[in-house]
Chains A and B, each alone.
Chain A
Amino acid sequence: ETGVTQTPRHLVMGMTNKKSLKCEQHLGHNAMYWYKQSAKKPLELMFVYNFKEQTENNSVPSRFSPECPNSSHLFLHLHTLQPEDSALYLCASSEGTDYEQYFGPGTRLTVT
């Protein structure tokens, strides 16, 4: 595999479910990111990790819980979500500060 991969690509979950999104980067990058893309809204940065340490939490509700076990893997744990959390969740990685970010294909999440 090359680049940034995300699984699953599509996810439908109820408001009481617990699920996790997975991201893996094969680029040797140090930083990883989660973004949320809702219809008709700009991409919103959610979390940033650099060398496994969280460096940014953009006021994300606690029902979203990130985990970064190493520089290549990033997870987003989801629990008790709301319908308005339905969106495309994009993972990205970069070599470091000021470098371009490379994005995965995203997970299309629907909360019912």
Chain B
Amino acid sequence: AQKVTQAQTEISVVEKEDVTLDCVYETRDTTYYLFWYKQPPSGELVFLIRRNSFDEQNEISGRYSWNFQKSTSSFNFTITASQVVDSAVYFCALSEAITGGGNKLTFGTGTQLKVEL
């Protein structure tokens, strides 16, 4: 069975600090996809990134960066120079293809990030 662990339940930082959200996963599949989503207080999950298991290059998008390390089954997310608008719950997820179509996402329990002035 697939599993995603986000050990950090809640993180509080002061604006402009860098913060890293950890994600560790378990799967027996050789090909898989990993995702990060943001859930602000409004409730809607916002897609941030998708990463293929064969692509271990780190990715940077503005203040966001992701570090995928297959050897340690980790897919960590760093926010540089955090802002108050980054306050949200962040979810890491692992994808499993469904016979017949579609994919099943296994989510971690999420990390609540609070950025204060």
Residues of chain A at the chain B interface (Cβ within 8 Å): 30-31, 33, 41-43, 45, 48-51, 53, 55-56, 88, 90, 92, 94, 96-106, 108
Q: Which residues of A contact B85 (CB under 8 A)?
A: none
Partner of B43, one of A48, A56, A100, A106: A106
Q: Which residues of A contact B35 (CB under 8 A)?
A: 100
Mark B75-111 against chain A: 1 for CB-CB distance below 8 A, else 0: 0000000000000000100010111111111111110
Distance A55 CA – B104 CA, assembled complex (angstroms): 10
SS of A interface (majority): strand
- Give Cα A31–Cα B42 distance, bound, in whole angstroms: 24
Write the chain B residue with the least CB distance to A31. B102
Inter-chain contacts of B43 with A (CB < 8 A): 88, 105-106, 108
Flag if B50 contacts A96 (CB, 8 Å): no
User: Do the beta carbons of A56 and B104 come within 8 Å of each other?
Assistant: yes
Q: Are A50 and B44 in contact (CB under 8 A)?
A: no
Determine the interface band of chain B, counting residues with CB < 8 A from chain A. 20 to 34
Contact between chains at B105 and A30 (CB < 8 Å)? no
B64 on the interface (CB 8 Å rule)?
no
State in angstroms the CA–CA spacing of A53 and B39 once bound together.
Answer: 29
Distance of A55 Cα from B99 Cα, bound (Å): 7
The 21 sampled A-B contact pairs (Cβ below 8 Å) are A41-B109, A42-B108, A42-B109, A43-B105, A43-B107, A45-B104, A48-B101, A50-B100, A50-B102, A53-B100, A55-B99, A55-B100, A55-B101, A56-B102, A56-B104, A90-B45, A99-B50, A99-B103, A101-B103, A101-B105, A105-B42
Q: How far is the CA of A104 from the CA of B43 in the complex (A)?
A: 9
Q: List, in ascending order, chain B residues with CB within 8 A of A88's CB.
A: 43
- Chain B residues closer than 8 Å to A30, beta-carbon distance: 101
| Chain A residues whose C-beta falls within 8 Å of the C-beta of B109 in the assembled complex | 41-42
Q: Chain A residues with Cβ under 8 A from B44's Cβ?
A: 103-106
Q: List B contacts of A101 (CB < 8 A).
A: 47, 103, 105
